[in-house]
Chain A
Amino acid sequence: MADQKTLAEQSGDTPYRRMTRPMEGRLLGGVAQGLAAQLKLDPVVVRLMFVLLSVVNGVGVVAYAVLWMVTPRQAPQRVEPQRDWSQLAAFTAIGMALFAFGWLTGASQGGIGMLPFAVGGIGALILWQQADPERRRTWMSGAALSIRKNRVRTLLGVALVVVGAVGFLYSQGELAQARPGLMFTVVVVGGLAVIATPWLAGLWKELQLERRERIRQEERAEVAAMVHDSVLHTLTLIQRVAHDPREVSRLARSQERELRNWLYQPAQDADATLAAAVRRIAAEEEDAHGVPIEVVCVGDIDLDQQGRLGAMLKAARQAMVNAAKYSESPAISVYAEVEGEEVTIFVKDRGKGFDLEAVPLDRMGIRESIIGRMERHGGSARVRTDPGEGTEVMLTMKVEMA
């Protein structure tokens, strides 16, 4: 249809342009195409108009013949372009079917009485064609979507209607008479389908393209949001606290961790497995105290219901807090391992260490929150430390494998 548009645009500047019959893409004599270009309509609309008018009382045929005679032929740019036979066949089929339908139902005898229907049909076609392409697309895609969504219901509905109509006709004893009419209806619908298919296919392809573009844009927006919300934000914060090296490195590490998670880590539920929970706790304490905590996990296990691993995680958190707060170690190593039915967590620092015997009895951190808690839940905790040697807390817990 592009050639008609360019044709119309080219001849648009001349004030009194003459209607011509283009040979390119014609079905019969190119009259419909020429008229369409003149009226700035889609040739399909004009063709259907001719078919309708011909069926109702033959006006279409006469009009076509007259126009054919008075309009000059447009010189073909290529050597004798071919007719589009499949389209011509489709229009012919529609015309014949409509004619047969009118003849069977006696409508064509009504002559003038049928004219309003023909005019109404043509008007609807022109309206459809003149509608804003954007709006037409939303109509179409809306319909397609709802059909696809409710495919079963649509099929069921159609089947019910068909069964109901057939049943009604049968009970009235009119099925035999209605059969040819039904057949021609099917032919009309088939013809319309043949005409509309290429156009619908193009529309569909365009829709797909648009969807892909939209997905790409959404992804880009997500990346932009991530960069904006966290990275830019952190960079701003870092500039503001530039005088405090500890805070700067804390911010940088926290941002680094967030970015890594976003880039590499599959979405993990921190409350579902041991390794994820250890990582989350380490990240929280790192943020709270500004001491880097390196986590290494080997193996993994789902957190249990009895809360044993939960207690173990609390003890591990307490060990990290102690190391971060009191050891003065530049970094803390956490190692969690699941091997067979044994879960072990090590929290190690290279800080100043302490004399375990010298810790006063009322200090709850190690005795109660770590050792006591582990033992109450059937595990064990050992603390290895000496002044100047750093500290390592070892937590062990037996679990039953599912």
Chain B
Amino acid sequence: MTRVLIVDDHRLFRSGVRAELGDSIEVVGEAEDVESAVKAIAAHQPDVVLLDVHMPGGGGQEVLRRVLGSGSQVRFLALSVSDAAEDVIGVIRGGARGYVTKNISGKELTDAIRRVAEGDAVFSPRLAGFVLDAFASSEAPSIDPELDSLTQREREVLRLIARGYAYKEVAKELFISVKTVETHVSSVLRKLQLSNRHELSRWATARRLV
């Protein structure tokens, strides 16, 4: 049973998510702002935190900074109505292991939570598109080639995800196992989080697109 904490400032949305999540997931608590989220995470130690990006008191990024900054190993899945590149890249760079939008179906959300709980990354088609765009747009020499560019295989995986393929379909298409797909995606996530290419953030800010 995966233990989940919901952090969102809209009460209606919290109860909606609670109702949608299936029996395989236990909601251990809710929080409505940065302060209460930090407290609730410390108290409940959930497997996965569903984190809203826009919240009073600094938003999701502030929660990530304070919880992960204190050495906690809690995993975060960002959940937001915003599809702006700034928010997506910002919250992933802040340490979230995935980003899904709020119009995701209950089943997809359950899958995403399970995946994050197992330590994998969750990329929506849009996030995959952002990453491809961000890593392709730069022609500046990279400081760390390993971190600053995607491998051919990672690019292929991301492109299929952006086209709307599920992980299973990606695996079938590329004749690899689902596990390998997950490894590639996690590796992209690591690059996205650790690459110190400042263009990445600048790109996201410059591109205020939905």
Contacts and interface: CB of A to CB of B under 8 A. Distances in A.
A265 B133 CA distance: 17
B99 to A, nearest CB: 13
Interface string A285-303: 0000000001011110000
B208 interface: yes
Interface in B157-177: 159, 162-165
Given A333-B164, A335-B164, A348-B163, A296 B210 contact: no
B19 interface: no
A381 to B, nearest CB: 15
Nearest to B128: A296
Interface in B67-83: 82-83
B136 A298 contact: yes
Contacts of A346: 163-164
B209 A264 contact: yes
Given A297-B129, A298-B129, A298-B133, A335 B209 contact: no
Interface in A198-229: none
Determine which residue in A261, A264, A339 has the highest number of CB atoms from chain B within 10 A of its CB, and name it. A264
Interface string A37-52: 0000000000000000
Contacts of B136: 298-299, 339
B126 interface: yes
Contacts of A240: none
Contact of A264 (B84, B125, B137, B162): B84
Contacts of A260: 83, 210
Contact of B129 (A265, A266, A335): A335
Contacts of B84: 264
B38 interface: no
Interface residues of A, number: 17
Contacts of B129: 296-298, 335
B209 A294 contact: no
Contact of A294 (B125, B132, B137, B159): B125
A24 interface: no
A265 B162 contact: no
Nearest to A340: B136
Contacts of B132: 298, 337
B208 A296 contact: no
B126 A294 contact: yes
Interface in B122-136: 125-126, 128-129, 132-133, 136
B210 to A, nearest CB: 4
B67 to A, nearest CB: 28
Contact of B162 (A266, A296, A339, A392): A296
B210 A298 contact: no
Nearest to A252: B103
Contacts of B159: 335, 337
Contact of A265 (B137, B163, B165, B209): B209
Contacts of A294: 125-126, 164
A335 B83 contact: no
B210 A265 contact: yes
Interface in A231-252: none
Contacts of B165: 348
Interface string B59-103: 000000000000000000000001110000000000000000000
Contact of A392 (B137, B163, B208): B163
Contacts of A298: 129, 132-133, 136, 162
Interface string B185-210: 00000000000000000000000111
B126 A264 contact: no
Contacts of B133: 297-299
Interface of A: 260-261, 264-266, 294, 296-299, 333, 335, 337, 339, 346, 348, 392
6 contacts: A265-B208, A297-B129, A297-B133, A335-B159, A337-B132, A348-B165
* For the complex of A and B, 4 pairs with smallest distance between CB atoms: A333-B164, A296-B129, A335-B163, A260-B210
